[in-house]
Amino acid sequence: MYDSTPFYVNRLKAYGPDDVRCVGWGSDETQARRFDALLALALPHHTVLDVGCGRGDLAKCVDYYRYRGIDVCESMIRIAKERYPHHTFARGDVHGCKRGDYDWVVASGIFALEHGDWEYETLRTVRKMYDTCRVGVAVNFLVHHRGEGAAPMMHRTTENDIDLLLRRLCRKREYLTGYLPNDTTLILHRGRRAHK
């Protein structure tokens, strides 16, 4: 299993916890757009599990009693607890969660780093996210446009490649686009699993 912890520990050392670059963002404004897309279908009473929560910044968009953030990086969990003390954060990953624990399971940026097992880890993680949710999954991806190169260490894909990877998992999926030029948010709706 791929462990992104060294990447984020190094970024924390380079930029410090208050700089958005420590979690690989371009700016607070672009991340706010991603958060809006991730939560576009969540209702006020829905619970949210934030997988790979980083500094916990999605917490400011969700009431504390409905939100839980998890991350494999202990340093990020410490920062999240300091920044949002009324919210719940824990070290771990989605593979430790139980079926149906949360209405929405969301992730922002956890599939952005390039590594040799990207397809396997993405499918494995999104499948577990889907099994954990009661209503749906929302996850964003960096998308590749013709003639455009990806930044070093960043994995960019296409919506077609995502569909090929996840087609057997869920029949009802949709993409939210247009909020940023190189992003897409995939929404998987529970209860509509594809046949194997």
| Residue 148 C-beta-side C-alpha neighbours within 13 Å | 14
Q: State how far the Cα of 69 lies from the Cα of 105, in Å rounded to an integer.
A: 10
Check residue 149 and give its pLDDT: 47
Q: How far apart are CA 182 and CA 142, in angstroms?
A: 6
Residue 167: pLDDT band (50, 70, 90) is confident
Structural domain spans, the chain: 5-189
Q: Are 80 and 56 in contact (CB under 8 A)?
A: yes
Query: What pLDDT was estimated at residue 66?
Result: 92
CATH architecture of 5-189: 3-Layer(aba) Sandwich (3.40)
Taking 50 as the threshold, does the pLDDT of residue 148 lie above it?
A: no
Q: Are 165 and 186 in contact (CB under 8 A)?
A: no
- pLDDT reported for residue 112: 76
The pLDDT of residue 1: 59
Instruction: List the 48-51 sheet strands across, edge first.
Output: 88-91, 67-71, 48-51, 102-107, 133-142, 183-189, 173-176
